[in-house]
Structure 1
Amino acid sequence: MKNILEVKDLKVSFHTYAGEVQAVRGVSFDLKKGEVLAIVGESGCGKSVTSQTIMRLIPSPPSVIKGGSILFDDNKIDLLQLTLKEMESIRGSEIGMIFQDPMTSLNPTMTIGKQITEGLIKHQGLTKEKAIQQAVELLEMVGIPHPENRIKQYPHEFSGGMRQRVMIAISLACRPKLLIADEPTTALDVTIQAQIIDLLKELQQKTGTSIIMITHNLGVVAEIAQRVAVMYAGKIVEQGTIDDVFYRSQHPYTKGLLQSVLRLDDDEKGKLVPIEGMPPDLLAPPVGCAFAARCPHALNICLKEEPKNKVIQGEHSAACWLMDERAKKAGIL
């Protein structure tokens, strides 16, 4: 299956009063057509910066894209080489995005109908009447009752779950080829989270849209994604299929994430195993492996030299010195 997106060696920094924060440090991944890829990791690992860079939404200054490429669609258009005006024609029409907090993402002074029809009129050239008709259909598609009446209301008249459904309707209005969902279930209760995930799965199956799911919720990942990329300190440290990452994980950080999730089938019910320590300061990233200071299996070389990404099998790969043949021969792990 062809790739709809190829991110290669992406590097993004932010210039602050304290110095240069290296938020994204050489991220590479691809997304196939019709696939759901989840990007997971702790807060501050660079997930949202990566997604916003794909959309070209990070403000410059203070941000600066230091290198890499983002190739989109069959024509392999490098999104980083487009002007902002050229990017505007792609953003919303071919690439949609669901943001973390719908209350701050939706305009409180505009009706829901106005916010949905805006993109339809701009990108698809529909008349106002046709756009309103399509907006009603979109609200009905995402499960909002009485859409003919709700379309005239404002964001504050909707619940949190309903606002998130509106955000999904806006992002899917122009039938984009790629949808980026940046923690779409944040601040929603568990029942509403399940409804939103079920809705995304259903819509993805109907439309065939490729999805990048940004989250730190491993339960959401298991429910919706086919492949997972694990980020730590601005880098992808492991990626593979759901089964690869959940059942055959190789990187100590991935194992730590999985152990820190409460499991109902665990013998020691209610007991969590935390990852000790704190993520590194990206104002001055460590010379070697960024996870070495927190890793229970760290070797001397981990502190001195950065590990290269190693293919384990098929699409499964990890960047860890424990994958090195010399470590295996020495019987480490």
Structure 2
Amino acid sequence: MKDNVILDIKDLVVSFHTYAGEVQAIRGVTFKLKKGEALAIVGESGSGKSVTAQTVMRLIPAGIGKVKNGTVMFEGTKDIVKLSDKEMEQIRGSEMGMIFQDPMTSLNPTMTIGDQITEGLIKHQRLSKQAANERAIEILGLVGIPNPKARMKQYPHHFSGGMRQRVMIAIALACNPKLLIADEPTTALDVTIQAQILDLLKDLQKKLDTSIIMITHDLGVVAEIAQKVVVMYAGKVVEHGTVEDVFYNPRHPYTWGLLRSMPRIDSDSSEPLVPIEGSPPSMINPPKGCAFAARCPYAMKVCLEHDPAHTVISGEHTAACWLTDPNAPKVERPVEVGGRVG
């Protein structure tokens, strides 16, 4: 793997064909993920976060969604976009695992928990039924399920939401994947259980040296688990960098808006949160220039006409905004932005 990069996405373009027209869900997404690294993809609903993850896992429905351009290189040699269905089946579940958004509906209600975990072990690792059961019991214990041997025989309805999410993590990790994608894994859970799940993911990442892509809209989750952050808006990456870059030196007005709309522990609780005014654009007919221009208080004429390229701020920190141009007027970011969230 070149420079220890496990996933390299370049110029990815994904569209969906609907009765209303072509939805341009992903419009030129580019980023890299290194081995053992945790990367968070953040943005509002509809920004393209989950579609990016589903494209990596090759879960875009055929005939409706289509990868129109770009490459998704896994381990430097396998382009996920070009693999056959059979080749992808060998990777999905064994080398890549995914934790889906809602644990209450993602498990099969007609199968025992044990059968759902051992299914992948028998298929991908060619284990015997007995060996698969032993591995499943081990992984259930690893994710914090008490009395795992007895719980193997139970069904999803016997488990609480938090325990179901642990089972989902166990299924995703059963074959020791090199890449784990977690799509809003704490959304349906209460705050206490959310913290437990995040601690579990951090612990497992250290133990197994698994690379993680975390899809979330919660910047508190980002601060807790990630080393790198990709900020997406209207199907594009608008800012990319380390957690310190994006939290302490954000350079895109959309990132400022996300940070200002989150509560902070170092601020007066009586201070109102500042929402981002307006709504994201239609992806059937996205705007010609910067997609955020209509909602941006700092928008200039050039923003409406031309889409900005990414400017390197420092190291791996980039932002796609005309305000980073040397000829742009100097704008001070809002005073609420620039500290750690949560």
Name the CA distance, whole Å, in 1 between partners of 2:106 and 2:70. Answer: 28
Which secondary structure does the structure 2 equivalent of 1:50 belong to? helix
* Counterpart amino acid of residue 213 in structure 2: I
Name the CA distance, whole Å, in 2 between partners of 1:169 and 1:204. Answer: 13
Give 1:332 deviation, angstroms. 4.6
For the Cα contact (< 8 Å) 1:36–1:213, is it kept in 2? yes
Deviations 1:209-232 (A, max 9, x none): 000000001101000000100000
Which secondary structure does the structure 1 equivalent of 2:118 belong to? helix
1:238 is aligned to: 239
Deviations 1:9-67 (A, max 9, x none): 11111100000000111100000110000000001100000000000001012111111
For the Cα contact (< 8 Å) 1:262–1:270, is it kept in 2? no
Does structure 1 residue 320 correspond to structure 2 residue 321?
yes
Q: 2:52 aligns with which of 50, 53, 57?
A: 50
Name the CA distance, whole Å, in 1 between partners of 2:111 and 2:222. Answer: 33
In the TM superposition, 1:109-258 aligns within 5 A as 109-258=110-259
Deviations 1:105-132 (A, max 9, x none): 1111000000000000000000000100
Which secondary structure does the structure 2 equivalent of 1:325 belong to? coil
Name the CA distance, whole Å, in 1 between partners of 2:271 and 2:64. Answer: 43
Which secondary structure does the structure 1 equivalent of 2:11 belong to? strand
Does structure 1 residue 284 correspond to structure 2 residue 288?
no
Name the CA distance, whole Å, in 1 between partners of 2:331 and 2:146. Answer: 58
For the Cα contact (< 8 Å) 1:7–1:68, is it kept in 2? yes
Name the CA distance, whole Å, in 1 between partners of 2:237 and 2:318. Answer: 10
Name the CA distance, whole Å, in 2 between partners of 1:15 and 1:104. Answer: 26
Structure 2: gaps (5+ residues): 333-342
Does structure 1 residue 304 correspond to structure 2 residue 305?
yes
Moved over 2 A (4+): 267-270, 330-333
Which secondary structure does the structure 1 equivalent of 2:145 belong to? coil
Which secondary structure does the structure 1 equivalent of 2:206 belong to? helix
Which secondary structure does the structure 1 equivalent of 2:24 belong to? strand
Q: 2:63 aligns with which of 55, 61, 64?
A: 61
Name the CA distance, whole Å, in 2 between partners of 1:268 and 1:165. Answer: 33
Give 1:76 deviation, angstroms. 2.2
1:82 is aligned to: 83
TM normalised by structure 1 equals 0.98
Deviations 1:199-247 (A, max 9, x none): 0000000000000000001101000000100000000100100110001
Name the CA distance, whole Å, in 2 between partners of 1:252 and 1:103. Answer: 36
Which secondary structure does the structure 1 equivalent of 2:283 belong to? coil
* Counterpart amino acid of residue 210 in structure 2: T
Which secondary structure does the structure 2 equivalent of 1:137 belong to? helix
Give 1:307 deviation, angstroms. 0.3
1:9 is aligned to: 11
* Counterpart amino acid of residue 87 in structure 2: E
Name the CA distance, whole Å, in 2 between partners of 1:244 and 1:213. Answer: 18
Which secondary structure does the structure 2 equivalent of 1:246 belong to? helix
Name the CA distance, whole Å, in 2 between partners of 1:136 and 1:287. Answer: 54
Give 1:101 deviation, angstroms. 0.8
For the Cα contact (< 8 Å) 1:24–1:234, is it kept in 2? yes
Give 1:270 deviation, angstroms. 4.4
For the Cα contact (< 8 Å) 1:263–1:269, is it kept in 2? no
* Counterpart amino acid of residue 25 in structure 2: A
Structure 1: gaps (5+ residues): none
Name the CA distance, whole Å, in 2 between partners of 1:55 and 1:237. Answer: 23
Deviations 1:163-206 (A, max 9, x none): 00000000000000000000000110000000000000000000
For the Cα contact (< 8 Å) 2:11–2:70, is it kept in 1? yes
Equivalent residues, number: 330
Give 1:267 deviation, angstroms. 3.3
Give 1:268 deviation, angstroms. 5.8
For the Cα contact (< 8 Å) 2:323–2:330, is it kept in 1? no
1:106 is aligned to: 107
